[in-house]
Structure 1
């Protein structure tokens, strides 16, 4: 099977942000996406160009166009966010983001009125019905199919970095799961979700996708929801590992990290280097450690089992990528990674709010609503 890869401009950027609609009285997730999207869609268009339905009626996904810099992507998201928030407020609703809602039960939610979502639920049943989860996806342009698979493989080394920084789903249906990212484990229930397979090249990717389609496992490549995957239509590598992020500051930080890593790998390939391809067992172990412990994880850094704190690893990567960030114009956004380390990741901030309120989770929702409005809290918030 041949899959055309529509090569993209080097290090171009796109971001997708899944937002939660909240009843400010009950603090529960609530439906409203259909009405909001109908209101903000320009006349003459069937759908808004940068705001979409997701699986649940309590979700609006906003997306950027093709951007050059992280600042441009943040500004693009901010413009659409303002439209969604204004429309939500006219309906008495709030808007926030985290990997999960702290206490709303998944079985109370309405599915969006789109045929593909109905088909997904019919086919997958319980694993799809409980996908009351929210993420941020970052696309970075890649210039050729020959480069995309080595870049996907190399990026798996940084799965714990992205997951620890973005982890924002400690609670599920009113319970503290003990995890930094319960969203990750919920999503892994889908048969084509999780870590990517280590493939040798684009030809092997085409052969694998062809086999899945011939076997009736999927209908298109878009149904393979790997944590990091090639996106042939966009000509990008798509990082889907991140939990939903409460603030534009945090989105800018992970987008800058992604853009800089892909640009660095692209440059190394141009110079004839072979990119690292970490052992599968290390990638899987490190992903679990980030799911469980977030920024307190100690990750495995070699096949002898050496470990080091993921906080130190993240700080070192930021330092290493500074020259690339200057070239790409995202030095300020990459520096925001350190702000996240100082303030604490969202799962830590949420737990701190719950602890300060005798375990009550309604104040956690209030804090997430405030963070979307006000931005990343100051250092020491968690």
Structure 2
């Protein structure tokens, strides 16, 4: 078995080193290739090509970001801002990036600023549509674990929200009810029905924790897209989350009996109730959340479930040569995700603005170090 292809869609805020988020995407998209608008101008998205190699994927994460930083500096005192919510303010308004786009109009009118978040979407290539739908079933039930690892939005509008992922707590999952698709045919039939009912405006308007993806959805599919993760600005931590997902999908390919429709004692409707509850719990408390395992409904702490998953897939990752990229999962479990680290600082009396300013500085320094150490030839090519 060879490595799977994996690509990332990364949304990130732009603003000042003081943490003020400022919309610049219209200028970025006009002047730089490889960046696309989000409906609100305060964040911008770039997409990596799909790679099997983790080394190449690391540089594909870093190269556009370094280019974007240089461009922002040419405009003024601007930078990239970590976190998945409008941490210090601006959460009550919507700044249209493309006033002429009717889909953006629909999003603004329907959802407002609840969708003005930053995140990472992880795409893993799976060519066979039935295997892909099987993978989606498993990953959907385990998606709360990836949210727990990635949570980075404990602040919103200048206050502590009480949640570790304020983004996923408010993000409008659409349509509200999405089944566990039993086959590719089921997915096609369901999607066509949603488009007829108007619960989806187009084939992209499926905003769930995970979805099948492809160039001609729902008919031609070639990848699983995990959409639940908050923005992870540390590239090595992000690759570790990708590696955990890839290793789990490899494990499923080798042992199809891991399919929840076979391996769970719970009925599909109960599985959906359970995973919705787990997503809410993970958004609230991330690694410290007590979740409920899809196999039998037993309570288990997210941290312990991830540790079990890590232990089960590590030999496979090692045999495939990417265990070194998987191992930072242990660092996240030990040190906490970004939300937990920020909250620890806040509990010590550090203000939200100072926490964010330090994170902005640390993020840039980490990127520069990794780029110089690992990707300099690619960055200057």
Name the TM tier (shorter chain): 0.7 to 0.9
Instruction: Give the deviation of 1:302 after TM superposition.
Output: 5.6
Aligned twin of 2:374: none
- Which residue of the other structure, out of 49, 61, 75, is the alignment partner of 1:65? 49
**Is contact 2:41-2:97 (8 Å) kept?**
yes
Equivalent residue, structure 2, for 1:78:
62
Choose which of 3, 14, 18 in structure 2 pairs with 1:21: 14
1:68 aligned counterpart, secondary structure: coil
Match of 1:44 in 2: none
Match of residue 204 from structure 2: 222
Gaps of 5+ in 1: 1-8, 41-47, 377-382
Q: Secondary structure of 1:129's partner?
A: helix
The answer to whether the Cα contact below 8 Å between 1:246 and 1:368 also exists between their aligned partners in 2 is: no
Distance in 1 of aligned mates of 2:7 and 2:246: 10
For the aligned residue pairs, the C-alpha RMSD in angstroms reads 2.2
Name the count of aligned residue pairs.
352
Instruction: Kindly indicate whether the alpha-carbon contact (under 8 Å) linking 1:10 and 1:143 is maintained by their aligned counterparts in 2.
Output: no
8 Å CA contact retained: 1:16, 1:63: yes
CA offsets 1:88-129 (integer angstroms, 9 cap, x no match)? 12221011221113122223442112644x433336615143
Partner of 2:218: none
CA pair 154-369 structure 1, distance change in 2 beyond 3 A: same
Report the Cα distance in structure 2 between the residues aligned to 1:346 and 1:60, rounded to whole angstroms.
21
Q: Name the TM-score, length of structure 2 as normaliser.
A: 0.86
Q: Measured at CA, do residues 125 and 86 of structure 1 come closer, stay the same or move farther in structure 2, by a change above 3 Å?
A: same
Offset from partner CA, 1:225-265 (integer Å, 9 cap, x none): 11100002261000001011121122111111111112221
Contact 2:11-2:120 at 8 Å conserved across structures: yes
Structure 2: runs of 5 or more not aligned? 216-220, 265-270, 368-381
Q: Distance in 2 between matches of 1:365 and 1:85?
A: 17
CA distance in 2, matches of 1:212, 1:28: 39
Residue of structure 1 equivalent to 2:193: 211
Give the structure 1 partner of residue 243 of structure 2: 256
Change (3 A) 1:114 1:259: farther
Pick closer, same or farther for the CA change 1:145–1:182 going to 2, 3 Å: same
Is contact 2:136–2:224 with CA below 8 Å preserved after alignment? yes
The answer as to whether partners of 2:211 and 2:224 remain within 8 angstroms in 1 is yes
Q: Deviations over 1:305-339 (max 9, x none)?
A: 42222111111211211122124432111101111
- Distance between the aligned counterparts of 2:98 and 2:108, measured in 1? 17
Q: Secondary structure at the match of 2:21?
A: coil
d(CA) in 1 for partners of 2:94 and 2:141?
36
CA distance in 1, matches of 2:94, 2:296: 46
SS in 1 for 2:316: helix
The Cα of 1:201 is off from its aligned counterpart by: 0.6
